[in-house]
Amino acid sequence: MTDVPVRREKLKSSWIFRPGVRSAVIQILLVALVVLIGWFIYRTTRQNIITQRIPIGFDFFWIESGFSISQTLISFNENNTYARAFLVGLLNTLFVSALGVLFATVIGFLVGIGRLSQNWIIARLCGGYVELIRNLPLLFQILFWYLAVLAALPGPRQSFTFFGDIFINNRGILMPKPMFGDGIGIVAAVAAAGILLSIVMTALARRYRVQTGTALKTWPFSLLLIVVAPLFVFFFLKVGVTVDRPELKGFNFNGGLRIIPEFLALLIALSTYTAGFIAEIVRAGILAVPRGQTEAARALGLRRSKLLQLVVVPQAMRVIVPPLTSQYLNLFKNSSLAVSIGYPDLVSVFAGTTLNNTGQAIEILGITMLVYLVISLVISFVMNIYNRRIALRER
């Protein structure tokens, strides 16, 4: 075979039409535009700040705050700095979001599966729930729980009482708080170590099962590590327990553990609202598993529980997880609606009270945006890792 010389006609065209040049030019222009806008923002902000003589910087963080906050996960009083107020607000936001994600997931999965139930009533009830919850504005739902439900509870003196020690009134839910003596830290450390060991053990057992096909019973050892060992240490070290009971004193209850109504209203509204969306995602995920898969599993003689556990759920999760991530992000960002009912979240405490008392609008809003952005990215990151683990691996 001989080479046939091919005469290539060199296309003569202007360099403007060359794709490489073109895309480079467009990209350079885009970058220049972004830089220009950035510079413009920087310059006008600087100018405005100078003409109005507003001091800028982050020194305000170390000033005594002088206000109090109704729910604090770490101790906080008027003598503490704005930096600590920021932390209190951030923790409150994270706390309500984390619990919200947990409850929304549980309710969402139950409702989503329930909607596919053979039982007509359960299916319709779950369908009704989704349609009702999804189609009402979230702010309205928060205000409903707060002003129409929780505020309608009786005052502290007329509280509903359960088991003599749990009180429910319009100031929230009060319950006895266990107070542990010295050494509880060691007990907690033992329990934590137990959990860690159990996880490692389960992973090893799983690998053994994959290699040999023999399943090992691990749960008795887990029980021993997580429950029995800490209990043993607890009694061995004679860690005492006292109970701090709520007591009506004057206007309010003193002592005990109290869940404030703002928190409850927000948590209920966020979880039920997001659950409505998660339910639909779960339903879609399950329906996305081809019928043939179920039939094949049944043909292999798998029990219904094994069928769900080994065939349906793993495949459904691949469809469920990506949109589920957006719902978690939504819930987290929606938690900032807390400000409308006086729940002391990051927006209320930091972008509200702190901003107003210090006047550092640009710094504070910048930090607040950054915090929401970073946490959202972390949630996405974690969910992406999970997604990658359950994704279809083609071998």
Partner 1 sequence: MKRSTILFSLALTFASAGAAQAATLDDIKARGSILCGVSGGLAGFAQPDDKGNWNGIDVDFCRALAAAIFNDPTKVKFLPLTAKDRFTALQSREVDLLSRNTTWTSSRDTQLGFNFAGVIYYDAQGFMVRKSAKVSSALELSNTTVCTQSGTTTQLNLADYFRSNNMKYEAVVFNTADEVIKAYESGRCDVFTTDVSQIYAERLKLAKPDEHMILPELISKEPLGPLVRHGDDQWFDIVKWTLFAMLNAEEYDISQKTLEQRLKSDRPDVKRLLGIEGNYGEQFGLTNDWIVRIIRHVGNYGEIYDRNVGEGSRLKIDRGLNKLWNKGGIQYAPPVR
Interface contacts to partner 1, rule CB under 8 A? 41, 43-45, 47-49, 51-55, 66-70, 78, 147, 151-152, 155, 170-171, 249-252, 254, 261-262, 339-342, 344, 348, 351-353, 355-359, 361-362, 365
Query: How would you classify residue 9: left for phi > 0, otherwise alpha for psi between -120 and 50, otherwise beta?
Result: beta
User: Can you list the positions of beta strands (E) in the chain?
Assistant: 160-162, 166-169, 172-175, 177-180, 241-244, 247-249, 252-254, 257-259
Whole-number Cα distances in Å, 71 to 75, 90, 233:
10, 12, 33
Q: Which is nearer to partner 1, 49 or 216 (CB)?
A: 49
Q: How far is the CB of 223 from partner 1 (least distance, A)?
A: 42
Q: Which is nearer to partner 1, 154 or 185 (CB)?
A: 154
Structure tokens at 386: 């999970």
Q: Are 256 and 246 in contact (CB under 8 A)?
A: yes
Q: Which is nearer to partner 1, 27 or 254 (CB)?
A: 254
Q: How far is the CB of 148 from partner 1 (least distance, A)?
A: 10
Q: Which is nearer to partner 1, 170 or 387 (CB)?
A: 170
DSSP 109: H
Q: Which is nearer to partner 1, 49 or 228 (CB)?
A: 49
Q: Which residues are CB-contacts of 259 (< 8 A; sequence separation ≥ 6)?
A: 172, 173, 174
Q: Are 85 and 357 in contact (CB under 8 A)?
A: no
Q: How far is the CB of 249 from partner 1 (least distance, A)?
A: 6
Q: Which is nearer to partner 1, 40 or 162 (CB)?
A: 40
Structure tokens at 181: 């003596």
Q: Which is nearer to partner 1, 47 or 384 (CB)?
A: 47
Q: How far is the CB of 37 from partner 1 (least distance, A)?
A: 10
The 10 Å Cβ neighbour count of residue 298 is 13
Q: Are 262 and 171 in contact (CB under 8 A)?
A: no
Q: Which is nearer to partner 1, 195 or 339 (CB)?
A: 339
Strand pairing report for 252-254 and 247-249 = antiparallel
Q: Are 285 and 316 in contact (CB under 8 A)?
A: yes
Q: Are 381 and 307 in contact (CB under 8 A)?
A: no
Q: How far is the CB of 359 from partner 1 (least distance, A)?
A: 4
Q: How far is the CB of 58 from partner 1 (least distance, A)?
A: 14
Closest to 342 measured CA to CA, from 147, 168, 149, 99: 147
Geometric angle at alpha carbon 70, from 68 and 74, rounded to 5°:
80
Q: Which is nearer to partner 1, 269 or 289 (CB)?
A: 269
Q: How far is the CB of 329 from partner 1 (least distance, A)?
A: 19
Q: How far is the CB of 36 from partner 1 (least distance, A)?
A: 14
φ, ψ at 258 (rounded to 5°): -125, 135
Q: Are 264 and 71 in contact (CB under 8 A)?
A: no
Q: How far is the CB of 270 from partner 1 (least distance, A)?
A: 18
